[in-house]
Amino acid sequence: MTTVRRPLVYGHRGSREEAPENTLRSFRRAQEVGADGVELDVRVSRDGRLVVIHDATVDRTTNGTGKVHDLTRAQMAALDAGEGEGIPTLTEALDAFPGLVQVEIKAAAAVPALAELDRSDALPDRVVLTSFHRDVLAHAAELLPRVRRGLITHRCDDSVLAAVTDLELSWVCPELDPSLTAGMMAQFRDRGVKVDIWPAADRDHLGRCVALGADAVTTDHPGLIDAWLGGAERA
C-alpha cells in the first residue's frame, strides 16, 4: 500500500467555510480542525494600523461601507464582520493563531507599516510575507530582509523562476494551473524554493497538488484535508 505524503495545510482566510473569513473566530477554527497555518490579508487603516481584511472596502464582509484606507481602526473595530466578529489587527491575528501564517500584502502601504511593527515587536519566524505583486515583495525585501517572502501567481513561467532568484524567495504560491508542470516543480526544487499550491478545493484538486509534490496547500476546507487524503504521513 502506497503511503501518501501529507503537505502542510494552510486555511485560506482561516476556515472560511465554517466561520467568517479573516476573523479571529476563523483563525481559531482553523487551528481546531488541524490546519498547520493560515493565510490572511493585510491592509492599512486611515490611522496607520495593520488590519486583516481582503477587500479594499468593508462592504462585502461587514455591515459597514467605505474604503479601508478611509476608516480608522476604531471605526472598523465597531463593524460586524459576521457572527459578532470584528476586523482584527495583524497583531491580534498572530496572537490568536500560534501556527504558520502567510500574510498576503494587499496594499503597498502595508510594507512600511509591517517594517514599523517588526521594529517594535519582531514578527515571528513563522510568518511569511506574500503578494501577487513583485514590486511589493521587492520593497519587503528592502525593509524586512530577514522575513521570508513568497510570490503568489496564477501562471508559472520563466519570469516566476527569475523572481525566485531576484527576490530571494522562500516560497512560490501558484494556482493549480496547467502551467504548473512536473518540470516546473523540478525547477523550483533546484532553486531551493518551497511550493504552496492553491486552491485545494476538493479531493480531486488536492490529489493533483499532492501528485505534483506540493510542500503545502491552501484551502477553504482545512478540516477536510485529512479525510480527503485518508491517513497520509505529515510532510
List the domains of the chain with CATH numbers: 5-227 (3.20.20.190)
**pTM higher than 0.75, yes or no?**
yes
Instruction: Record the cell numbers describing residue 189, joined without a space.
Output: 526544487
CA distance 77 to 85: 9
Q: Which amino acid is at 215?
A: D
pLDDT in tens for each of the 235 residues of the chain? 455 789 999 999 999 999 999 999 999 999 999 999 999 999 999 999 999 999 999 999 999 999 999 999 999 999 999 999 999 999 999 999 999 999 999 999 999 999 999 999 999 999 999 999 999 999 999 999 999 999 999 999 999 999 999 999 999 999 999 999 999 999 999 999 999 999 999 999 999 999 999 999 999 999 999 999 985 555 4
Which active-site residues does the annotation give?
12, 54
Torsion of the alpha carbons at 45, 50, 55 and 61, rounded to the nearest 10: -90
Q: Which residues contact 98 (CB under 8 A, 6 or more apart)?
A: 31
Look at residue 8 and give its three-state secondary structure.
strand
